[in-house]
Amino acid sequence: AAAVAAFEAPFALGSDTGGSIRQPAAVTGSVGVKPTYGGVSRYGAIALASSLDQVGPVSRSVLDAGLLHDVIAGHDPLDSTSLSDTWPSMAAAALAGQTDGALRGVRVGVIKEISGDGFQAGVKQRFDEAVALLESAGAEVVEVSAPSFEYAVSAYYLILPAEASSNLARFDSVRFGLRVDPTDGPVTVERVMAATRDAGFGPEVKRRIILGTYALSAGYYDAYYGSAQKVRTLIQRDFSAAFEKVDVLVSPSAPTTAFKLGEKLADPMAMYLNDITTIPANLAGVPGMGLPIGLAPEDGLPVGMQLMAPARADARLYTIGAALERLLEEKWGRTLLSQAPDLAATEMFASEEGAV
């Protein structure tokens, strides 16, 4: 997302397990899309959590994301999770959203549980302004409740580590990946595996593997992993109930703007809670789009808005996303990225200070 926002690439592909396309897009002023689960092949991607992972596009506009989405969508016999659906053109859907009246009669649901308390003031302000803009263009805005979303982060951080523990077990120096021999003592298979996994996995990956292995262990499986899957079902039901009332659901892409590099490394829970708005879509398998809606007044950093649609209704995101993008750019008189500060002076200062 940073490369796209910096004009180093016209588009990029990302993988989204709990928000890793939509949140980077939010903090860089880019557009990022997590397609319907199974809508885009994952063949060739290293699995983290097989029931959550999805590959999707990142771009500087909704139309560009749609063009890339059209290329990568479709059935792949090499991916066992791939859907056999014939997908409509996402680019055509985005173009439809740029026409007058595209939002007339569209029902937009604001999710009560992930759009209010605990959110940075500037994020909330820009989100409310974007919702008002949708309403002014003819959309019907209603508040919806999804009570099980409250438990999404807890369920996710049991399901993801459990699946990661299983998926990453193959990287043991014997079958896949890096090999590191122990620096002292006998070179046995067990010691090579231990040295390799110690060197190859970072602290956060190790933390998740340990947590997942514990959650799957005898005596704890039903209490933790099994319970998390039950919560997942409740979240899916909340989505189904909400989509009987509205066409799309909206929330901020993240509760805050970007925090400083390394600022929250010592507090994993703070980092995990930043996923509160994006995780539900992964647990339910529904598509989500993040797009920029302005800069937070208190720090001047980009704010993103998330749109979510029913499974297989990805095109709906592109139509409504493109319509909102058009309204915002008409309001600003230019694109969001054109409002980005000139970082040349900052980079020069950092170089003088010996920063890398």
pLDDT for 341: 61
The strand order across the sheet containing 140-144 reads: 11-16, 54-59, 31-34, 288-295, 302-308, 248-252, 107-111, 140-144
pLDDT for 343: 55
Task: Give the C-alpha separation, 330 to 60, whole Å.
Answer: 16
pLDDT for 276: 95
pLDDT above 80 for 266: no
Q: What confidence category does residue 240 fall into, taking pLDDT thresholds of 50, 70 and 90?
A: very high
Q: What confidence category does residue 340 fall into, taking pLDDT thresholds of 50, 70 and 90?
A: low
Give the pLDDT mean for 326-351.
71
Give the pLDDT mean for 203-215.
93
Give the pLDDT mean for 57-69.
98
pLDDT for 270: 79
Amino acid at 176: F
Indicate whether 234 belongs to any domain.
no
CATH (domain of 339): 3.90.1300.10
pLDDT tens readout for residues 15-33:
999 999 999 999 999 999 9
pLDDT tens readout for residues 142-152:
999 999 999 99
**Domain count of the chain?**
1
Indicate whether 345 belongs to any domain.
yes
- In the chain, pLDDT over 70 holds for what percent of residues? 95
DSSP 160-203: HHHHHHHHGGG-SSSSSS-----SSS---HHHHHHHHHHHHS-H
Indicate whether 214 belongs to any domain.
no
Give the pLDDT mean for 200-208.
93
Q: Which residue has the tokens 């019907």?
A: 140
pLDDT for 350: 44
Closest by CA to 299, choosing from 122, 147, 119, is 122
Closest by CA to 139, choosing from 247, 47, 40, is 247
pLDDT above 60 for 110: yes
Indicate whether 244 belongs to any domain.
no
Question: pTM of this prediction?
Answer: 0.91
Indicate whether 329 belongs to any domain.
yes
Highest mean predicted confidence (pLDDT) among 219-223, 267-271, 323-327: 323-327
Indicate whether 164 belongs to any domain.
no
pLDDT for 130: 98
Instruction: Output the CA torsion sign for 171, 201, 21, 249.
Output: positive
pLDDT for 126: 97
pLDDT for 267: 79
pLDDT for 50: 96
Q: What confidence category does residue 355 fall into, taking pLDDT thresholds of 50, 70 and 90?
A: very low
pLDDT tens readout for residues 149-182:
999 999 999 999 999 999 999 998 988 889 999 9
- Residue 10, classed as helix, strand or coil, is coil
Instruction: Output the CA torsion sign for 211, 167, 276, 198.
Output: positive
Neighbouring residues of 41: CB distance < 8 A, sequence distance ≥ 6: 55, 72, 74, 76, 78, 79, 82
Indicate whether 207 belongs to any domain.
no
Of the listed ranges 76-80, 242-246, 280-284, 350-354, the least confidently predicted one is 350-354
pLDDT above 90 for 264: no
pLDDT for 249: 99
* Average pLDDT of the chain to the nearest whole number: 92
Indicate whether 107 belongs to any domain.
yes
Host domain of residue 21: 2-146+253-352
Contact 18, 126 (CB under 8 A): no
